[in-house]
A and B are shown apart, each in its own frame.
Chain A
Amino acid sequence: MGLAQRKNYRRGVVGFATILLLLVFWYLATTLTGLINPSRFPRPDEVLSAFTFIQTEGYGNGKLHQHVLHSLKLVAMGFAVAVSFGVPLGLLMGYSRRAEALINPAFLLLRPIPPLAWIPLAIVWLGLEDGSKILVIFVAAFVPSVINSYTGVRNIDTPVMEAASMLGIKGWRMVAEVLVPGAMPMIFTGLRLSLQASWTTLVAAELIGALYGLGSILNQAAQDIFPAMILLAMVFVGICGASSTWVLGALENHAMPWRKGRVAT
């Protein structure tokens, strides 16, 4: 085994061992020794039974997959709308100084307001229904899309842009065949940040008040003082966040066959 491989192997082994040790410690601390009070942190078996419970009987208005799907649906909608408006806007602001000067004021005024701070306003306008959630997700996902698409266009090498105008490329061809591919890496960064923000914001919005969703499970479990369910919901929040990031990463690799290190087909 080469040195690098050995290092990675050791890393993997130590990592695995650490996680294993922590799990063992968790079991011992809660079950055998009572070091951690079960009303503060659940026992491993409690978490497992909570998992089966929510799968079979449901908790807080639904079964686990119903909650997750509901959350997924809202994120998908808010994210899709935000990105459909945000990316073109960012591209436009990056390409046209005029557009940038005109739109920037509104953007700069609204941008500092954290998406979570929109939740009360969204509730005033749209109640506790899905609509207010989608609005807040939209706000959260919109800003990173715009900023990163903007940066993406600005990062296109000046000679490349000059070559495009020299060739007489205008309008739609400029957008589709120069701006979008040129800004693609940053666009994907924006998409990733938008997606993460979408999840975070949705969980918060659901925590405040919702019928379905992982956040609503968290809320219900907090009220019922059900630590096992709290932990379970947290784990699933993490899983959803991680998997959507992973999916985007895979898409990103497919979308850009011209990047260094890839073989042209």
Chain B
Amino acid sequence: MATIKFSDVSRVFKRDGKDFLILDNINLTVQDKEFVVIVGPSGCGKTTCMRMAAGLEFPSTGSVKVNDVLVSGPGPDRAVVFQQFALFPWKTVYDNIDFGLRGQGIAKEERESQIAHYIALMNLKGYESAYPHQLSGGMQQRVAIARAYALNPQVLLMDEPFGALDAQTRVVMQEELVKVARKNPRTVLFITHAVEEAVYLADRVVVMTSRPGKIKEILDVKSVREAEKWDQHSKIEDVMDQESFVHLRTHIWKSLREEHAGSDH
């Protein structure tokens, strides 16, 4: 059972002697094996939510619990995929994936087969000895995702992982992620500002207001997806053509528009 529970979470940021309220009273539970996506305008604190679940930041009030255990710091049970990839430039693709695994006391053969499995899964075969600087952005992010998956984490936290990629690569990565996620469901908290990406990937979409961030609404995408059988379409553009998809997407767009209009962007 791997759940993420935000209880009355607020986050205040101090700068130049002034207090900035970034998050205001967030209450959210990500259920076991649920794929939750948070969308919101820039600066709404959605990344901060993820970082608190990761243990890289801490709430000013309230608590963040993973599996009912208070988050006190980062760890391999809550694997993070960063927007900037965050691969170790001095390690090969293989070593990057292996690095976190080595500390877990797994036997060597077992580790090797695990890594091979994820390398194949993320289409990285043949690149095991390459260094990150030799890879494209998309390839690097694949390594980062493989690294996170290989940890067999309770919870997967993804911070705008496709944000630094070009549009075409982005689409390919989304398709791949969906395939992996449906085959091997995990508890995922995914952050993005791209609405279509959110609707495509999520079981539930959480829409946030602009700063100070509150939860504006939560939409259940999974029931729509299953009812309309989106998964029978393998291509993303076919899914995005579905009326039900467009309806959800437009709804969220409008919701976010209100936030942009209201804020001082």
A and B touch in the complex (CB under 8 A): yes
Chain A positions within 8 Å of B, measured between CB atoms, are: 157, 159-160, 162-169, 173, 177-178, 181-182, 184, 256-260, 264
Q: A-facing mask of B81-94, CB < 8 A → 1, else 0?
A: 01111111111100
Q: Is the CB of B89 within 8 A of A166?
A: no
The residues of B that contact A160 with a CB separation of less than 8 Å are 86-89
Q: Is the CB of A168 within 8 A of B82?
A: no
Q: How far is A167 from B151 in the complex, measured between Cα atoms in Å?
A: 8
CB distance from A152 to the nearest CB of B (A): 12
Q: Is the CB of B103 within 8 A of A169?
A: yes
Q: Is the CB of A162 within 8 A of B151?
A: no
Q: Give the contact stretch, choosing among B31-39, B71-79, B200-208, B243-251.
A: B71-79
Q: Is the CB of A157 within 8 A of B84?
A: yes
Q: Is the CB of B99 within 8 A of A177?
A: yes
The residues of B that contact A260 with a CB separation of less than 8 Å are 133
Q: Is the CB of B129 within 8 A of A166?
A: no
Q: Is B54 an interface residue (CB 8 A)?
A: yes
Known: A166-B74, A169-B100. 8 other contacts (CB 8 A): A159-B83, A160-B86, A166-B78, A168-B75, A177-B91, A182-B88, A182-B90, A257-B131
Q: Is the CB of B86 within 8 A of A256?
A: no
Q: Is the CB of B103 within 8 A of A258?
A: no
Q: How far is A165 from B56 in the complex, measured between Cα atoms in Å?
A: 9
Q: Is the CB of B74 within 8 A of A165?
A: yes
Chain B positions within 8 Å of A, measured between CB atoms, are: 54, 56, 73-76, 78-80, 82-92, 99-100, 103-104, 129-134, 147, 151
Chain A residue nearest to B130 (CB atoms) is: A264
The residues of A that contact B134 with a CB separation of less than 8 Å are 264
CB distance from A123 to the nearest CB of B (A): 44
CB distance from B9 to the nearest CB of A (A): 20
User: Closest 8 A-B residue pairs measured CB to CB?
Assistant: A167-B100, A159-B86, A181-B90, A163-B86, A166-B74, A258-B131, A258-B90, A168-B76
Q: Is the CB of A162 within 8 A of B88?
A: no
Q: Is the CB of B82 within 8 A of A159?
A: yes
CB distance from B58 to the nearest CB of A (A): 14
Q: How far is A167 from B73 in the complex, measured between Cα atoms in Å?
A: 11
CB distance from B213 to the nearest CB of A (A): 21
Q: Is the CB of B103 within 8 A of A168?
A: yes
Chain A residue nearest to B151 (CB atoms) is: A167
The residues of B that contact A181 with a CB separation of less than 8 Å are 88, 90-91
Of A165, A178, A184, A259, chain B has the most CB atoms within 10 Å of the CB of: A165
Known contacts A159-B82, A181-B88: A166-B76 contact under CB 8 Å = yes
CB distance from B255 to the nearest CB of A (A): 30
Query: 17 A-B Cβ contacts within 8 A?
Result: A160-B88, A163-B86, A166-B76, A167-B76, A167-B151, A168-B103, A169-B99, A169-B103, A181-B88, A181-B90, A182-B88, A184-B90, A258-B89, A258-B131, A259-B133, A264-B92, A264-B130
Known contacts A167-B99, A167-B151, A169-B103: A159-B84 contact under CB 8 Å = yes
CB distance from A62 to the nearest CB of B (A): 45
Q: How far is A27 from B178 in the complex, measured between Cα atoms in Å?
A: 80
Q: Is the CB of B103 within 8 A of A173?
A: yes
Q: How far is A257 from B103 in the complex, measured between Cα atoms in Å?
A: 25
Q: How far is A169 from B79 in the complex, measured between Cα atoms in Å?
A: 13
Q: How far is A160 from B90 in the complex, measured between Cα atoms in Å?
A: 11
Chain A residue nearest to B76 (CB atoms) is: A168
Chain A residue nearest to B148 (CB atoms) is: A166
Q: How far is A79 from B103 in the complex, measured between Cα atoms in Å?
A: 35
CB distance from B64 to the nearest CB of A (A): 15
